[in-house]
Amino acid sequence: MNTVIWKCEQYIAGKLHEKTIFENEQQARDFARKLYDVRPDTILRIEPMPIQHVWN
């Protein structure tokens, strides 16, 4: 079982717009690349997050 998930946060005009969670870094980076092609004004932040920090 993977103990780390990857979080991609989207910021528009300096405000958090949406968070998306991925199982691995490659999925998060692929998502960010596609999103940036569609909406280049979005600031993206990708970071690992231990699964223990996720609440149900």
Give the tens place of pLDDT for each residue, 1-56.
568 999 999 999 889 999 999 999 999 999 999 988 888 889 999 999 988 766 65
CA angle 38, 39, 41 (to 5 degrees): 155
Domain hosting residue 10, numbered range: 4-53
* Cβ count within 10 A of residue 10: 19
pLDDT of residue 10: 94
pLDDT of residue 55: 62
* pTM, entire model: 0.77
- Contact, 55 vs 30, CB < 8 A? no
- Please state, in angstroms and rounded to a whole number, the distance separating the CA atoms of residues 11 and 45: 8
Specify the number of domains making up the chain.
Answer: 1
pLDDT of residue 2: 64
List strands edge to edge, sheet with 43-50. 15-22, 4-12, 43-50
pLDDT of residue 56: 54
